[in-house]
Amino acid sequence: MRLDVTLLRYLSRDEFRALTAIEIGMKNHELVPTSLIIQIAHVKHGGTKKAITTLHKNKLVWHDSKKYDGYRLTYQGYDFLALRTLCSRGILSGMATKLGVGKESDLYIGINAEGVQVAIKFARLGRTSFRSIKNNRDYLEHRKSASWLYLSRLASLKEYAFMKALYENGFPTPVPIDWNRHVVVMSLVNGYLLANVKRLIHPGRVYSDLMNLIVRFASYGLIHCDFNEFNIMINDEEKVTVIDFPQMVSTSHANAEMYFNRDVNCIRIFFEKKFGYVGAEYPVFNVDTEREFSLDVQVAASGFSSEDAKKLDALMEELKMNEEEAEEDDDEDSDEEDDQVMSISAVTDSNAPVVEFDERVSRRTRVFQQLLTKDAAKEIEEELEVRKQLKKRGVHVTNKNTTKLKSKRDNHNQIRNGW
């Protein structure tokens, strides 16, 4: 799937309201009926249907009229909602090339408000066809087609929460900048994937650094669970940076010892095969090891709940079991991305209202729990600003309309509670 953000700057306020209405409706609908979209969007003079037609034409929503006439978001539509929010916060002003594509995510180079390059990671759970996965997924509750977007959101939230906690405690990770929906914005790491490195000057030192890092993770109550050459970057000075955190678990997890040993063995086997280095020493998991800190508890308190973790872990386990049978979607587009930077800063100049945020508060120093609370408040503030702008333009908005009040309430609950 090719992400073309050129369209983002041309979408109207009505089209974004319709897109948001479909997102809200997907909370309890597999396909959101047009009547409900109209009710939630509050677009005057029948503009919602026109907006939906534009969204469908540009593949931001998917339409099914065979059994049930309704719409749902595509990943492209979900991308646009997340990017618009990040633009309105002043986090992003442009996008450049695609850095890489994985089974579960896409990575792009972005441009922030100061013109500095950043990394933008889009979670894409469900992109590959796991046809042998059981249809009955209790952990997805009533969600079916919407579950992939929901679980992608959980994966991004988990990754951002762990990255932020690790970075603030001195671990070698990218700098976490912001998060919204299924998108994580982080600093761009200057280095190379360890998998692509042909030769190390000091393989023993790098091996020791990685083993010490695994032990340090455990001393903070965490296990990476995917600690391999594809999730480790190394620079010219042979300093390592760990990336990709959506599979991290606590050392109190039932399979903690197995995950710990797997991380250790991945590094041992890779160094022996790639560099001919056999480490004489390697760590062994000890459940009685005294913790320095409990980052697993800190992350749980940051907004990524234990219930969220159960749902995501259940999915990840099943995906791993069926990984060998996974097939790439037939409609995946492998076109190369244009190297030219595509400006999306103009979205803040369109007639879609945005809210100015206090830039005096550093996002990097906030605790994650405060960030989530402020994030929800800003979403509500933006909705209030929309109503204010409508009144200024002469559009009749009344608080006495019961339908609008109920939709408003549901909208706010949706923003506060996630999904």
Domains (range + CATH), the chain = 192-322 (1.10.510.10)
Q: How far is CA 157 from the centre of its chain?
A: 6
Token readout for 359 is: 């830039």
Least confident residue range of 19-33, 154-168, 197-211, 306-320: 306-320
Could you tell me how many residues make up the chain? 419
User: What is the DSSP code string of 115-132?
Assistant: S-EEEEEEE-TT-SB-TT
Nearest to 418 by CA among 366, 379, 368: 379
| Count of CB atoms situated within 10 Å of the CB of 265 | 13
Compute CA distances 390 → 13, 353, 396, whole Å: 11, 10, 8
Q: How confident is the model at residue 254 (pLDDT cuts 50, 70, 90)?
A: confident
pLDDT, tens digit (0-9, with 9 covering 90-100), for 206-221: 999 999 999 999 998 8
pTM score, whole prediction: 0.70
Are residues 143 and 312 in contact, defined by beta-carbon separation less than 8 angstroms? no
| Rounded (to 5) percent helix, strand, coil in the chain | 45, 15, 40
User: CA-CA distance, 394 to 371, in Å (whole number)?
Assistant: 35
Region of poorest pLDDT, from 121-130, 323-332, 338-347, 352-361 = 352-361
The span from the CA of 22 to the CA of 37, in Å, is: 6
Decide if 135 contacts 334 (C-beta within 8 A).
no
Catalytic residues: 226
Q: Which token pair is 286? A: 């000890």
Degrees (nearest 5) of the Cα angle 158, 231, 112? 65
Q: Which tops the pLDDT comparison, 391 or 331?
A: 391
Residue 269: which pLDDT band, with cuts at 50, 70 and 90?
very high
Q: What is the mean pLDDT of residues 10-28?
A: 93
List, for residues 106-150, the tens digit of each pLDDT value: 999 999 989 999 999 999 887 654 433 334 333 344 444 447 888
Alpha-carbon distances of 212 from 120, 125, 197, 256, 284, rounded to whole Å: 29, 31, 21, 17, 12
Structure tokens given for 44: 């005057």
